[in-house]
Amino acid sequence: MIFQSINPATGEVIKEYQEMTSKQVEDILQDSYQTYQEWRRVSFSQRATCMAKAAQILRNRKDEYARLMAMEMGKPIAQGRAEAEKCAWVCEYYAENAEQFLQAETVETDASRSFIAFQPLGMVLAIMPWNFPFWQVFRFAAPALMAGNVGVLKHASNVFGCALAIEDIFRQAGFPEHAFRSLLIGSQQVNRVIEHPLVKAVTLTGSTPAGSAVAQKAGAMIKKTVLELGGSDPYVILEDADLEATVATCVNSRLINSGQSCIAAKRFIVLEPLRKQFETMFVEYMRARKMGDPLEEDTEIGPQARHDLRDDLHRQVQKSIQQGATCVLGGEIPPGTGAFYPPTVLSNVTTGMPAHDEELFGPVAAIISARDEADAIRIANDSKFGLGASVFTRDTAKGERIATYELEAGNCFVNAFVKSDPRLPFGGIKESGYGRELSHYGIKEFVNIKTVYVR
């Protein structure tokens, strides 16, 4: 099979990639396994030296990587540079902290010595999406490699250029040649890789259906999985919120990565006394954002990553309108080439509509009215997803209480938009997945938490 990398802004074919054969995949897995036998015994300081070098490469070549992301999946180039910088940050974070995170923990028992050791599992398969083609990979790879594992990546087929660039970064940074490899394969080969006896664990970021399929296959093989799946993040706006700051934050969250983010704000749940004022200001801020060529510095919204994804988004918008939602901004596919979709705002959104029940993966916002605080929390939790949530109020003690005890999500923020940070665990509940990435929790997902007891 031939895979094509297509510029979503122009429809131009950038490059074609020949799918790897079963033998090529087998050779990579065998080479990676042999590398693991050596890498697992390398000291933390040696691993950290390589990881710090990877961070340096990312920073030195961030313009190149940002352009690659813009060309392959349409990310505005300024956001691509920020993504490369964030990848450098996560590399540095684990280079500095992995040894401490994985120090043996002494436990007092009736033994002469008993402790908990953290040992690598082996080869970890990562199945990653196109929307953050560098960040999603590095936030798995940095902790996994620092723990002594090796990684193999099955990236989305429209960003194979990014996959090979990441492989090259680790190689240039001094990691063994086969410590991190990219498999240029389609989804039909994934099950065979999961089944392979040398693969010890699987991590996936992607859609809920994809996560379910991978979890079933890995579960049948008794292999550890971490899943970061879809989201329909609710943002609860209480009556006492700082309106201008709240609207600016909400719009930033909804439009980051041209709206193509699992943790972007999707549902804006506004108490009725504030709803009209919020909606008016929100539409103004959304309308002001510039959509255009992702290679231009001032572009804030690029194309959607593929035409089929843009068309699926438009169908969700149209169906919501047919079911009673009011389109107060956007909602029409613009003329011309490219997979563009304009900033769109739907009001009067209620349960049963795609804009309420499904993940809208693009620059489309759903405004939902709530009677009071309790009703807003009920609506926020009325979702099969549980990735992120945010609450806006001048009463930060109230906001903290709601975020801590009331909102059903893995990442709950107060007066800020949901984002990942290497220092904090990241992941979801319900159909948004399980397990955690980042922080000390993330590096411990793919280790053997081993009890050692000495009489």
The H or E element that residue 115 is part of is strand 113-120
Q: Which residues are known catalytic residues? A: 228, 262
- For all residues of the chain together, what is the average pLDDT? 98
Instruction: Quick: pLDDT tens for 195-231.
Output: 999 999 999 999 999 999 999 999 999 999 999 999 9
For 232-271, what is each residue's pLDDT tens digit?
A: 999 999 999 999 999 999 999 999 999 999 999 999 999 9
d(CA 350, CA 363): 19
pTM: 0.97
Q: Is residue 426 part of a domain?
A: no
Residues 277-284, mean pLDDT to the nearest whole number: 98
For residues 224 and 252, state if they share a domain: no
Query: Is 400 within a domain?
Result: yes
Among residues 203, 205, 184, 182, the alpha carbon closest in space to that of 194 is found at: 203
Note the Cα 342 to chain centre separation in Å: 22
**What pLDDT, on the 0 to 100 scale, is given for residue 65?**
98
User: pLDDT, tens digit, for every residue of 386-427?
Assistant: 999 999 999 999 999 999 999 999 999 999 999 999 999 999
Distance of alpha carbon 34 from the chain centroid: 30
Residues 317 and 292 in one domain: yes
Between CA 207 and CA 153 the distance in angstroms is 17
Q: Which residues of 416-438 are buried (b: 16+ CB within 10 A; e: fewer)?
A: ebbbbebeebbbbebbbbbbbbb
pLDDT average, residue stretch 36-58:
98
Q: What is the pLDDT of residue 35?
A: 98
What are phi and psi for residue 291, nearest 5 degrees? Answer: -105, 135
**pLDDT of the residue at 72:** 98
Task: Tell me, yes or no, whether 222 and 351 share the same domain.
Answer: no
Whole-number pLDDT of residue 160 = 98
Both 250 and 263 in a single domain? yes
Q: Are residues 338 and 282 in the same domain?
A: yes
Domain limits for position 187:
2-229+432-454
**Radius of gyration from C-alpha coordinates of the chain:** 22
Mean pLDDT confidence for 313-338: 97
Count up the domains in the chain and report the number. Answer: 2
SS3 340: coil
Query: Within this chain, do residues 402 and 361 fall inside the same structural domain, yes or no?
Result: yes
